[in-house]
Every structure is written in structure tokens, then in C-alpha cells.
Amino acid sequence: MIRVSILYPHTPGIRFDLDYYLHTHLPMTEKLLAPHMRSMVVERGVAGTTPGSSPAYVAMCHLEFDSIDAFLEAFMPHMATLTGDIPNYTDVEAVIQFNEIKIARTY
Amino acid sequence: MIRVSILYPHTPGIRFDLDYYLHTHLPMTEKLLAPHMRSMVVERGVAGTTPGSSPAYVAMCHLEFDSIDAFLEAFMPHMATLTGDIPNYTDVEAVIQFNEIKIARTY
């Protein structure tokens, strides 16, 4: 299993419309990718580790698929729609990477 | 619910012993924190989005707790043990932040 991580840096002066992201962009993402997607986790950055510090990322999104190929198969037909919606909620460039899941446990 | 994200930057020349991390450090983390922890997800960075590119992070670890207070209660008694073990697998400084979980769905 792999996860695609989309991390939005907490840059000073950044525009990030969390409401639009959560209630418009992500439901669109879910609708378009869910047939191929295994899980979606979305987080809002709250704080760094030193008191009063900002988080490095204002938001993180983790999308799980069987493989990178499965992600590409799901994503490529909707790439223009999904990436075209990004300016509607942010002007920051996301850090995006593919990960192999090594451990996934609940307690 | 909150998650603590520990992200290890993929710095050129970095030392990162994935085997030690997965098979010694994380079992120790699990043993010490599991009574308070809700989930653990650990990923190995595979690639960025452009062909042949390195991922921004060589590894990511996401630990879920009921609250930041619950994390601190679990972590503080073992902080010296856990942070003291870090030089055994890496020389890179992790990016650490607290996140509020906004969406967590499986399909």
C-alpha cells in the first residue's frame, strides 16, 4: 500500500481557505478518486513543538492506494479538475510525495 | 483527536538507518506509548512527483492521541529514552508538529 502526502507549507502571508478545502475541494477529490482510494486522512496543522510556534504545515492530506500505478490511474483523468481547483483555496505550493506504508496499527 | 507528525527531511548526505528505525526505535516507541496511543502510521518516502525525484522526507511517522495533553502525558516520562535513541538511526533533525484530525475515512 502507498500513500500520497500533500503538505501545505505554513508560509507567512499564505492564503489558505480551510473551509473551502474541507467542504468543497476534498469532497470533490473523494467523489472523483474514491472508487480507487483506500483511505483519506486530512489534518489541520495546530502547532510546532516549541510553545507558541506555528506548525510547519497548515494542512496535510494523506491518500491511500494499492500502488502508485493505482493512484495514477485514478488521478490522471481528473488531474485538470483537481489541480485547477487549488487556486480557489490556496496560493501556496504543496509538497507532494509518494510513500510506502511500513506500519499501520490502531490500539 | 490529534496526530503528532514526525517528518525526517531527505537531506543530501543524510544518515537514516531504516532497519533500526522500524525494528528497534518504533517497537520501543510503541511499547512506551501504546497505552495512551490510538494509532501509529509509519511511511518510507519513495519519490516526489517529478520522475526520478527524491521525496522531501525519507520517513514519516504519525502518532494519534485523544489530545495534545494526552500525548504529553504519555511522552514526557519517556522523552529522554526516546529522543536519546534518535542518534542511533539518524543525524537529521525531524520536523515535528501537532495536527487536528479533520477527516479520517476508509473506503
Determine which helix (DSSP H) or strand (DSSP E) holds B79, and give its type and residue range: helix B79-85
Summarize pLDDT for A37-50 with one digit per residue, the tens.
Answer: 999 999 999 999 99
Identify the sign of the CA torsion A24, A27, A31, A34: positive
pLDDT reported for residue A43: 98
- A65 vs B contacts (CB less than 8 Å): none
Of B2, B22, B48, the CB nearest to A102: B22
Summarize pLDDT for B7-42 with one digit per residue, the tens.
Answer: 999 999 999 999 999 999 999 999 999 989 999 999
Of B30, B48, B99, the CB nearest to A96: B48
**Distance (Å) from the C-alpha of residue A78 to the closest C-alpha of chain B?**
16
Distance CA A17, CA B41 (A): 27
pLDDT reported for residue A5: 98
Is this structure's pTM higher than 0.80? yes
pLDDT reported for residue B91: 98
Q: Which amino acid is at A89?
A: Y
* Interchain pair A103, B68: CB under 8 A: no
Of A34, A39, A48, the CB nearest to B97: A48
* Interchain pair A41, B68: CB under 8 A: no
Question: Exposed e or buried b for every residue in B44-53, given b needs 16+ CB within 10 A?
Answer: bbebbeeeee
Q: Which amino acid is at A79?
A: M
**Distance (Å) from the C-alpha of residue B66 to the closest C-alpha of chain A?**
12
Distance CA A54, CA A35 (A): 36
Q: Which amino acid is at A58?
A: V
Q: Is B21 in contact with B89 (CB distance < 8 Å)?
A: yes
Summarize pLDDT for B47-65 with one digit per residue, the tens.
Answer: 999 888 999 999 999 999 9
**Distance (Å) from the C-alpha of residue B46 to the closest C-alpha of chain A?**
5
Say whether pLDDT at B104 is over 90: yes
**Distance (Å) from the C-alpha of residue A53 to the closest C-alpha of chain B?**
9
- A104 vs B contacts (CB less than 8 Å): 39-42
Place of cell 486530512: A42
Residues in chain A whose Cβ is within 8 Å of chain B: 2-3, 5, 7, 22, 26, 30, 34, 37-49, 55-57, 60, 62, 68, 95-107
